[in-house]
Amino acid sequence: MNDSPEIITTVRDLRARVSGWRRAGETVGMVPTMGFLHDGHMSLVRNSRAQNNRTVVSIFVNPKQFDRASDLEAYPRDMDRDAALLAAGGVDAIWSPEPEEMYPPGFATSVDVSGLTDCLCGATRSGHFAGVAVVVTKLLLQCLPDRAYFGRKDYQQLMVVRRMVADLNIPVEIRGIDTVRESDGLAMSSRNWHLTEAERAVAPQLFGVLTDIAEVAGRGEDVRPTIDKGLKRLERAGFGAVDYLEVRDAENLELSHRPKRPARAFAAIYLGKARLIDNVPVDTPT
């Protein structure tokens, strides 16, 4: 049985703990999360543990990145369960500030990453990436780890964070980690918890559709007819509103119907109450 990680709730205590490690010559990895952890999060933790002496996991449901109060309210939380998982995973500290510690009265600063945030989730969730950018900037500066770990499941977020860290000279190395899936292909997500049994049974079709689209793109063919077929298949399966289903360049995120450079197939679509997002890489012809 591993020792429980210390739960730290103030910036002051976090800084004291991390500087103690640094003085001892230890390296630090950070895994930012919103909690309600699953094996996707734990894969980031395993990477951090393998590559650093110490690992800090932040658990903070960031009010600024939710575009609807009801979505923030419904976001699942379970600190006891998360702490037990992180203890078993060998994490050293949990950084879990209250919203008032993160955003004290008078907080007035924003971080705006232009371009990359115009499409995909940025086009449909207003203010989302502004919220992500400010909280990730703060998390990285509060902890100042050597490396921070982000999932490719939120690929656009990873690209936005990389851009921002480079532009602002934040001295942290950003590492992207592949998506962890259930055995039937569904990308693990805290939001899957909202799915009914019937919805859970059809949910993996999203990965199936993305895989078909990526395969066609990989053969150098126009993806649009396959996207249309995919949309019909998802509708028949009971999926709801589609925010996007498209292929984009893996670096600049520009639309790409017949990609010649590394690309990815991206989707965001509702299934019942849950908004599922996923993406898969295209193996472009060399």
Type of residue found at 73: E
Type of residue found at 224: R
Given 38, 41, 128, 194, the catalytic residue: 41
Using CB under 6 A as the binding rule, whether residue 205 contacts ligand AMP is answered as no
Using CB under 6 A as the binding rule, whether residue 154 contacts ligand AMP is answered as yes
Beta strands in 63-170 (DSSP E): 93-95, 147-151
Q: Is the dihedral of CA 124, 129, 130, 132 positive or negative?
A: positive
Annotated catalytic residue 128: no
Helix (H) or strand (E) holding 214: helix 205-218
CA gap 159, 252 in Å, rounded? 9
Residue range at the interface with ligand AMP (CB under 6 A); choices 13-21, 36-44, 89-97, 203-211: 36-44
Using CB under 6 A as the binding rule, whether residue 55 contacts ligand AMP is answered as no
CA gap 279, 7 in Å, rounded? 33
Q: Contact 34/75 with Cβ under 8 angstroms? A: yes
Using CB under 6 A as the binding rule, whether residue 190 contacts ligand AMP is answered as yes
Candidate list 8, 187, 250, 274; residue touching ligand AMP; CB under 6 A: 187
Give the residue with the Cβ less far from ligand AMP, 21 or 150. 150
Minimal distance in Å, beta carbon 86 to ligand AMP?
Answer: 13
CB burial readout 210-240, b (16+ within 10 A) else e: bebbbbbbbeeeebeebbeebbeebeebebe
Residue range at the interface with ligand AMP (CB under 6 A); choices 50-58, 79-87, 89-97, 149-157: 149-157
Residue range at the interface with ligand AMP (CB under 6 A); choices 7-15, 137-145, 185-193, 218-226: 185-193
Instruction: Name the site residues for ligand AMP (rule: CB under 6 A).
Output: 33-34, 40-41, 43-44, 150-151, 153-154, 177, 179-180, 187-190
Q: Which residues are catalytic?
A: 41
